[in-house]
Every structure is written in C-alpha cells, then in structure tokens.
Amino acid sequence: MVAGKKIVYISDTKFFEGLVEICKDADLIISESCYCESEGVLAEEYYHLTASQIARVAKEAGAKQLILFHFSQRYKDISKLIKEAVEIFPNTKAAYDFMRIVLK
C-alpha cells in the first residue's frame, strides 16, 4: 500500500464494462496484456486483454501510468504490443524483473 495512491493490478481477465470504473483515477495500473489487437478474438476466448484494450481503459479512466506484463509466448519481441499501447496511452511501459516504480 502507498498512502494516498491508487494502484490497480489486473491479472487474467477479458474486457468488461466495469473495468474503466475500477481503474478510475489510478496512479498506476499494472495489467496483463497477452495479445495484440489483431488477435482480439483469441484474447476474448481465453479471458485476456489486448494491449490496446487496456491502454484505452487507462486513457478513459484518467490513469497516470500503465505497466504491462503477461505477454503471450507467441511474441518473441513484445515491442509491437508496447507500441500499440503507447499510441493510445503514452505513459505505458513493459514490466521487467526487479522493476522499481516511483509514484509521485
């Protein structure tokens, strides 16, 4: 917990209507983003989000920062997923081992 900060952690889920409200005004969203937008059908079928979906959620919710993790093994290079998200929500980064995040 960080006093006065809202952190939202999203693991395996598909998009649902209440997601934007849950993320409303979050200082940080840490979310799975298993697939790119072109594989949205797979994301829906296997209860995952696309990078674009969670980026749109972050933008609509007025979040400050988005960290993505849990990428499908089909992607040897996750830059496509990050690029998709950054185009919608610029303050997006990919999680990495031992990553530290400063909330201001």
The whole model's pTM is what? Answer: 0.94
Q: What are the pLDDT tens digits along the chain (104 aa)?
A: 567 999 999 999 999 999 999 999 999 999 999 999 999 999 999 999 999 999 999 999 999 999 999 999 999 999 999 999 999 999 999 999 999 998 87
In terms of Cα–Cα distance, which of 81, 96, 71, 3 is closest to 37?
81
* Site of tokens 């998200």: 85
Boundaries of every domain in the chain? 7-94
DSSP string for 36-57? -GGGHHHHHHTT--BHHHHHHH
The backbone torsions φ and ψ at residue 50, rounded to the nearest 5 degrees and listed phi first, read -90, 160
Residues 21, 46, 52, 84: is their CA dihedral positive or negative? positive
